[in-house]
Amino acid sequence: MVRRGAPPQWGRGGQSTGENPKIQRKLPIRADAAGLLQLSQDAGLKQVERIVIPQLKAWKWNPDLATHALKALAKRGFVRLCLHTLNVMRRSEVTPLTAHYNAALAASAEVKEWTVTLFLLERMQQDEAAVNDDTVKETMRSCKAWERALEFWMLLRSRDTGLSVASHNHAMAAMIQAPKLALEIFENVRDDPGLGADGMSYSLAIACYGRLQQWKDSLRMMEEMSNNALVPEALHFASAISALGRSSEWERSVSLWQDVKAGADAGGFFAIVTTLAHQQKWSLALEVLKEMIAEDLDPKQTMQGIVSKVVDRSGQRTEARPKGGRGKPRGRQRIKGMREKCANGREDARENSPDFDERHFAS
């Protein structure tokens, strides 16, 4: 029983087990990270202590406040500050919960620092913090190579054999560069009565078969979805179009596109334009690109830039040049004209991520 005036008891996943959960709703999520965000990302442990220690009493009553602060740091990629904050909590006997570790894992994922991820997973095990879908998601995001993702997946599976379909999907996505391994995960999910593949699982399976240039198996996955009462959506059609394109079956890609383009999203346009461009079907690719721009599905000009590069690098340059001169290839001229018509186009912002070493998370 929880005594009157005593802090509520919290489970390892961060959920209250007290008798009166309404108490938590009376404590608003404040901007507790304001002081931490004013620090430089290389700030030392003492600087973090001066800000965090006064907050610990409130964090003990409502762990969501600590989660909010750590998430704010994670969004900026302040890995070192997240690690220092967790250390201060542990030293002050405010044991970090799953949600806190997941926020720190998100920071590690932002800078693709797998050594920090491994350290955090070890600390989670020490603190008996449960592994959930977000843990797997952020762990997989921290991996640049599929080999590392496989190692982490085996580690997480050894700790918790009851991971959900979503966790398996995160692992498949991280190992998409090794399609045979990703398909093994898919088959395990599909054949497990307690799990069962969902729409995302099938989308990833279609993409894997496409990478293996097994387009018939990609289409078979679409049929299998229907047999399992799963309705293929725009995501699945886009994956199937890409799979056909990887097998040089561009005519089948166009046929499928004609059937589904009425409900296509940006992913579907991306798939068909890329397929046609790589097959050097410039006129068809540019016609579809015009439709994409007309529907405002390429505001950042991502697709236009890709097609432009493919056109420039192709062996069609000489054929595309105007007669009697050394002008730019017609493909580039046409794309440039469409760019000028796209008034809302803008370039993606790139953020510089700091480097970290083991000293940053030494307790």
Q: What are the per-10-residue average pLDDT scores of the chain (363 residues)?
A: 45 44 42 74 89 90 91 91 94 91 94 92 93 95 94 90 91 95 94 90 94 93 90 88 88 86 78 82 80 70 59 49 47 48 38 41 42
Token representation of residue 254: 């166009």
What is the Cα Rg of the chain in Å? 25
Q: Rounded CA gap, 77 and 40, in Å? A: 12
pLDDT of residue 281: 81
CB 101 within 8 A of CB 66: no
Q: Which residues, including other chains, have CB under 8 Å from residue 172's CB and lie 6 or more apart?
A: 182, 185, 186, 201, 204, 205, 208
DSSP letters, 239-289, are: HHHHHHHHTT-HHHHHHHHHHHGGG--HHHHHHHHHHHHHTT-HHHHHHHH
Q: Which residues pair with 218 in a beta bridge?
A: none
Q: What's the predicted TM-score (pTM) here?
A: 0.72
Contact 288, 277 (CB under 8 A): no
Burial 35-56 (b: 16+ CB within 10 A, else e): bbbebeeebebebbbebbeebb
